[in-house]
Amino acid sequence: MKKKLNTNNKKVRKKIILSIVLLIFLLFTSSCLVLIERNYFFAEKIFKDVSSKINSYVVSNFYSVNNSSSNVLLSKIEYLQKENNELRNNLKLDEKTYDYTDAQIINHTIKNWYDKVEISKGFNAGIKKDDVVISKQGLVGFVSKVSKNASEVSLITSVSDKKMLSVLVQTSYGNLSGVLKDYDLKKGLFKVTDVMSKNPILAGDKVVLSGYDNDLYKGIYIGMVVKEQTSNYGLSKTLWVESSVNFDDLLFVQIIKEKK
């Protein structure tokens, strides 16, 4: 009786093994037939169709949407959410006074790294030369050239004696005029000169555009004071100002335009 049981068990095992081997063979053969591009006989076409269905069933069960394509979609959604949040978090302006257009940095060359960048909006989007460009951290620069669907932005890190900016230093005892005229690449600091005051200017005091030459620029944040130097018997001060803008990692900006 035991010998019969053992014999039956062995037969069942053999059948299972043969079935698995046959299934593997069919799957392998079907995969090959599906991939081969040639003219088929009628019987082969039927077998190929059946094979395709078998492959589809196996793929759908072993590589479910939840495990593969959903991961791709999820990463895409996360990227779009991050991009959208970056745009939404940019500096908010008074909608009653200003229009502003979001743009992406599309060119930032090593040769002109601290001089200029190219953005993804041009005169088709209403961009004009001298429009002010900002990020959520503060002033980035000014539009210097405009084409149909792109514009060049002159970064404020390119300031010099020939390209100075009129600024205001906001202190507890009032606003002080000054001139932004240099950027120290090593220190990562802007130099503001010709600030006339007998009172000390404290670290953390804000520096903004004065808007004397263009009312649209008034109050645009540049950075905050980190250090002051006194000259001319304590009457004139030179300030070192730090911007929160990361000019090495610019991704999105906004162009400010006055509402018509």
Each residue's pLDDT tens digit, 144-189: 999 999 999 999 999 988 889 999 999 998 899 999 999 999 999 9
User: Does residue 30 belong to any structural domain of this protein?
Assistant: yes
Are 103 and 42 within one domain? no
| pLDDT beyond 80 at 82 | no
pTM of the predicted protein model: 0.63
pLDDT at 141: 95
Are 55 and 125 within one domain? no
Are 37 and 141 within one domain? no
Instruction: Provide the 10 A C-beta neighbour count for residue 79.
Output: 10
Are 8 and 104 within one domain? no
> What six digits make up the tokens of 240?
């070192």
Residue 155 maps to which CATH number? 2.40.10.350
Are 57 and 98 within one domain? no
pLDDT digits (tens, 9 = 90+) for 4-22: 444 555 565 666 666 665 6
Cα separation, 38 vs 45, in Å, equals 11
3-state DSSP call for residue 86? helix
Are 54 and 101 within one domain? no
Are 143 and 235 within one domain? yes
User: Does residue 84 belong to any structural domain of this protein?
Assistant: no
> With bands split at pLDDT 50, 70 and 90, how would you rate the model's confidence at 209?
very high
Cα separation, 105 vs 140, in Å, equals 12
Q: How many domains would you assign to the chain?
A: 2
Are 239 and 141 within one domain? yes
- Closest by alpha carbon to 151, among 105, 194, 195, 119? 119
Looking at 42, 62, 82, which one is the last position of a domain?
A: 62
* % of the chain at pLDDT higher than 70: 61
pLDDT at 238: 94
- Closest by alpha carbon to 207, among 245, 258, 234? 245
User: Does residue 201 belong to any structural domain of this protein?
Assistant: yes
Tokens 């078998």 found at: 54
Instruction: Provide the 10 A C-beta neighbour count for residue 236.
Output: 15
Are 31 and 99 within one domain? no
Which domain does 131 fall in, by range? Answer: 94-260
Please state the rounded mean pLDDT for residues 215-233. 86
> With bands split at pLDDT 50, 70 and 90, how would you rate the model's confidence at 198?
confident
pLDDT digits (tens, 9 = 90+) for 101-124: 999 999 998 888 999 999 999 999
Helix (H) or strand (E) holding 11: helix 2-35
Looking at 62, 82, 108, which one is the last position of a domain?
A: 62
User: Does residue 74 belong to any structural domain of this protein?
Assistant: no
Cα separation, 222 vs 133, in Å, equals 11
> With bands split at pLDDT 50, 70 and 90, how would you rate the model's confidence at 214?
confident
Q: Which long-range contacts (CB under 8 A, 24 or more apart) does 50-57 make?
A: 51/26, 54/26, 54/27, 54/30, 55/27, 55/30, 55/31
User: Does residue 81 belong to any structural domain of this protein?
Assistant: no
User: Does residue 133 belong to any structural domain of this protein?
Assistant: yes
pLDDT digits (tens, 9 = 90+) for 37-53: 445 444 444 544 555 55
> Which range, of 1-5, 10-14, 22-26, 29-33, averages the lowest pLDDT?
1-5
Are 24 and 141 within one domain? no
- The DSSP 8-state label assigned to residue 190 in this structure reads E
Looking at 13, 41, 62, which one is the last position of a domain?
A: 62
pLDDT at 10: 57
Mean pLDDT of the chain: 76
Please state the rounded mean pLDDT for residues 59-86. 45
Please state the rounded mean pLDDT for residues 122-147. 93
| pLDDT beyond 90 at 139 | yes
Are 109 and 166 within one domain? yes
